[in-house]
Amino acid sequence: MRINQRQMEIFNAIMVNKSVTAAATSLRTSQPTVSRELRDLERQIGFDLFNRFGKRLTPTNQAQLLHSVVARSFVGMEEISRVAIAIRGHDGAYLRIACIPAYAEALMPVVARRFLDSRPRVLLSVHSLEEVPLRHDLTTQMFDVGLTEGSYEHDVTTTEKIDVGELLCVLPAGHRLVEKNIIRPSDFEGVEFVYFSQEDPYRRKLDDIFDAEGISRRYSVETTTATGVCSMVAAGVGVSIVNPFTAAHYCKKGVVLKRLSVRVPYQVTLWRPAEGLRSTHADLFVKVLHEVTATVKQQLRAQLGE
C-alpha cells in the first residue's frame, strides 16, 4: 500500500476545514474531486476515515490517529515556507530557538533584545512548547538552539548545563511568610500552595523534600507553567516555589522572593545540533544567553539582600 501526497493533502484539508466543500475551496478544486479522492483513499487503506451523516462528515478515531502523524508533515512544509520567506527578507539570517513557555516569557525577550542589538538583520523564531513535546521537536534538528529543564541525550544533538542558581520561594505581597528571611519546608504546613503539573521534573524534587519532613500543603491551584504559577501567586491565590528566571521576572509584579532553606539547584539544559550543523549566529546567541544568565543571578542576589 502506498499513499500519495495528493491523498494526504485532501485528507489533511478535510480534517482542518471540517468539510469537503471548504476543503475543495482551500485546494482550489471541485467538491466531487475531493469526495472521489477521499473514497479512493479509504478503499486503499481499508477503513473509513469519516462517519457520514448526510453531507456532514465526522472523523473516526482512526482518522484522528492518522491525522496526528499527517499533520506533522504539513507543519514541516509550512516551516520550510516560512524559512524561505525569512531568507528572502533577511539576507539568509534566520535563527530558530526552541524553549519551554517559562523561558519564552521570562528569558527570551531579554536575550533577544541584546542579541538583535548586534545582529539587527537576523530574524529570530521562538518556538515554545511544554517539556515533553519540545524534547521530541529538538531531536528533529529543526532548531539552532533549544532550552529545556530536563536533560535527555540524543545522538544528533549535544547538551550543556547552565547553572542559574536555585529554586526560590514566591509569595504574595502581604503574606505572613514575607516576614521571614529564609523559608523552611515546615513553614508551608497547611499553607495554600500553587503547584506545577505532575510531569514537571522539579515538582518531584520538591515533593521528596516535603514528604521527607511530613509536610502537608493545601493545593489551591495546579497549572502547567511557571509564569502561570507566579501570576496566581501575584493574585494572592497561594505561595509557591519556582525557577529563578521566572522569579526574577515577577519580583516587581506583586511577588516577593525568599530563599528556601533546602537548596534545590536549578540548571538550564542547552541543546545544540551536531557540530557540523552549527552557525555563527547561534554561537553568538548562546554567548548572550550566558551573559543574561549571569546578570539574572546578580540581580537575584541583590533582590534577596545578599
The reply to whether 84 falls in a domain is no
Work out the burial of residue 55: count CB atoms within 10 Å of its CB; fewer than 13 is exposed, 13-18 middle, 19 or more buried: exposed
C-alpha grid cell, residue 110: 531579554
pLDDT in the model for residue 141: 62
Please compute the mean of the pLDDT values over residues 38-54 and round it to a whole number. Answer: 85
Return the minimum-mean-pLDDT range out of 217-226, 227-236, 286-295. 217-226
Asked whether residue 79 is assigned to any structural domain, the reply reads: no
d(CA 126, CA 149): 17
Q: Domain with 283 in it: what CATH number?
A: 3.40.190.10
Examine the fold and report which residue of 22, 46, 72 is the final residue of a domain before the chain moves on.
72
pLDDT score for 236: 94
- Per-residue pLDDT, averaged over 211-230, amounts to 89
The pLDDT of residue 235 is above 70: yes
Residues 201 and 144 in one domain: no
pLDDT in tens, 151-196: 666 655 678 899 999 999 999 999 999 999 999 999 999 999 998 8
Domain shared by 95 and 54, yes or no: no
Q: Is the pLDDT of residue 206 over 70?
A: yes
- Whether the pLDDT of residue 81 is over 70: the answer is no
Residue 143 CA to residue 128 CA, distance in Å, equals: 12
pLDDT at 120: 82
**What is the rounded average pLDDT of the residues 98-127?**
90
59 and 175 inside one domain: no
Whether 89 has a pLDDT exceeding 60, the answer reads no
- Side chain identity at 202, as an amino acid letter? Y
Tell whether 85 is covered by a domain: no
Mean model confidence pLDDT for the chain: 85
Q: For residue 234, what pLDDT band results from cuts at 50, 70 and 90?
A: very high
Pair (179, 149) in one structural domain? no
- The answer to whether residues 172 and 140 belong to one domain is no
pLDDT, residue 76, reads 56
Q: Say which residues have a Cβ less than 8 Å from residue 228's Cβ, sequence separation at least 6.
A: none
Full domain range(s) for residue 206: 165-265
Give which of 278, 269, 275, 290 is closest to 152, Cα–Cα: 269
Is there a single domain that holds both residue 158 and residue 271?
yes
CB 205 within 8 A of CB 185: no
Residue 274 sits in the same domain as residue 136: yes
pLDDT at 263: 93
Looking at the domain assignment, is residue 81 inside a domain?
no
Q: Is 217's pLDDT higher than 60? A: yes
All three cell numbers of 218: 493545601
Domains identified in the chain, total number: 3
Q: 210, 235 in Cβ contact below 8 A?
A: no
Contact 202, 140 (CB under 8 A): no
Task: Please give the pLDDT value at position 138.
Answer: 73
Dist CA 94 CA 84 (whole Å)? 10
Distance CA 196, CA 149 (A): 13
Is the pLDDT higher at 280 or at 140? 280
Q: How many CB atoms lie within 10 A of CB 60?
A: 15
Same domain, 139 and 274: yes
Q: Which residue has the cell 478544486?
A: 29
> Does the residue 16 lie in any domain?
yes
Residues 132, 258: one domain? no
Are the C-beta atoms of 209 and 228 separated by less than 8 Å? no
